[in-house]
């Protein structure tokens, strides 16, 4: 089976696994089955929007405009209709999930503005739209090409996706990638696409908590792990550091020798993510100071290509590291060593 990058949070291989897990309740199995088969329809729409977004204006603004993009939250009320009914989050009685999404969306946007001088997803003040309670027990979250959508989960394996800052930051990064490098959806380009979302999700979480790379746990999706998953020993969806790898619902390879040509990009994305982790640990300190700007610069430089493979992307990050930090040689050396550790160069 050939998997495509669907700009979601949970890989199709995980959805497929739990859809046929007889130890789960029928409600959960149906939820995973419906989530898996529903993704095919919106993936086609997402692919059709990518070229236009990639060629949209994305002029850097220095300094970033002080006007914040509008943050709008809608309620799908367990339907697949988008965006749903608008929620005024400032009103009394607004759902907690809606208030949390609005707060986290503003925070993630602030992160991109303060660290990368980026003004919203398109770098031009684009409004930030999100929908909660998408579908019945929908076990995923995704960037549709125009907005972010969050399911409530099955309650056994996954909890409400709107309640996790990791999930939102991951999907926000997919949107930024769409408006910058416009990476492809399959093969190594698709794996880089998923890796970038995990990387910036981790960096955002560390920035928000003011944690150094040594202090951080590097886990992705720990907030959405449900009670049944925890009983089985799972603590997160993925772990970029590969510490205690068996605690991940979705394990990833550590080395390019384990790359699967027909594998899920979410899985293969572990290879470039592990390279980033190695480089970050060699540099030390705050990931948002040096290593994250290198990766972001690789997304926005004129040398980028939407169908880059691992090796091309690796050398692009090394080149950008040397250009961004010419007086700090260890940055480019750390990036190079990170890619060597995973066997890409």
**Residues carrying an active site annotation:** 171, 266
CB-based contact 253:270 (threshold 8 Å): yes
Q: 148-150 and 128-132 as β-strands: parallel, antiparallel, unpaired?
A: parallel
Tokens describing residue 294: 């290198």
Tokens describing residue 21: 């897990």
CB atoms within 10 A of CB 104: 23
Nearest to 120 by CA among 184, 180, 191: 180
Phi, psi of 231 (to 5 degrees): -60, -25
CA atoms within 13 A on the CB side of 162: 27
3-state SS class at 161: helix
DSSP 318-340: HHHHHHH-TT-HHHHHHHHHHHH
Tokens describing residue 51: 């070229």
For tokens 């790898």, name the residue. Answer: 245
Tokens describing residue 34: 């419906």
Q: How far apart are CA 8 and CA 114, in angstroms?
A: 26
CA atoms within 13 A on the CB side of 297: 19
CB-based contact 97:161 (threshold 8 Å): no
CA distance readout (Å), 29 to 7, 25, 153, 221: 22, 6, 11, 20
**Residues in contact with 19: Cβ distance below 8 Å, sequence separation at least 6, in sequence order:** 29, 32, 33, 36
């Amino acid at each position: 089976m050939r998997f495509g990058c669907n700009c979601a949070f949970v890989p199709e291989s995980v959805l497929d696994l739990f859809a046929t897990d007889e130890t789960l309740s029928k409600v959960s199995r149906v939820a995973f089955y419906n989530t898996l088969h529903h993704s095919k329809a919106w993936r086609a729409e997402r692919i059709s929007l990518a070229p236009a977004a990639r060629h949209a204006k994305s002029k850097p603004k220095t300094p970033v405009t002080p006007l914040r993009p509008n943050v709008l939250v809608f309620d799908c009320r367990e339907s697949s209709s988008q965006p749903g009914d608008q929620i005024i989050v400032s009103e009394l009685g607004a759902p907690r999930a809606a208030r949390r999404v609005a707060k986290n969306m503003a925070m993630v946007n602030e992160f991109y503005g303060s660290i990368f001088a980026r003004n919203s997803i398109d770098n031009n003040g684009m409004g930030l739209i999100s929908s909660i309670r998408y579908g019945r027990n929908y076990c995923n979250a995704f960037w549709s090409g125009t907005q972010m959508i969050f399911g409530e989960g099955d309650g056994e394996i996954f909890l409400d996706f709107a309640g996790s800052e990791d999930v939102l930051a991951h999907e926000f990064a997919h949107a930024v990638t769409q408006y910058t490098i416009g990476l492809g959806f399959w093969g190594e380009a698709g794996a880089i696409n998923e890796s970038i979302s995990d990387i910036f999700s981790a960096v955002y979480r560390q920035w928000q908590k003011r944690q150094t790379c040594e202090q951080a746990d590097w886990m992705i999706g720990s907030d959405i792990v449900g009670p049944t998953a925890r009983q089985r020993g799972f603590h997160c969806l993925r772990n970029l550091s590969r510490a205690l790898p068996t605690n991940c619902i979705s394990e990833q390879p550590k080395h390019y020798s384990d790359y699967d040509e027909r594998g899920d990009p979410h899985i293969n994305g572990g290879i470039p993510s592990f390279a980033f982790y190695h480089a970050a640990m060699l540099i030390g300190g705050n990931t948002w100071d040096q290593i994250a700007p290198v990766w972001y610069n690789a997304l926005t430089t004129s040398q980028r290509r939407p169908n880059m493979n691992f090796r091309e992307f690796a050398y692009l990050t090394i080149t950008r590291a040397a250009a961004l930090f010419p007086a700090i040689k260890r940055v480019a050396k750390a990036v190079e060593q990170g890619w060597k550790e995973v066997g890409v160069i």
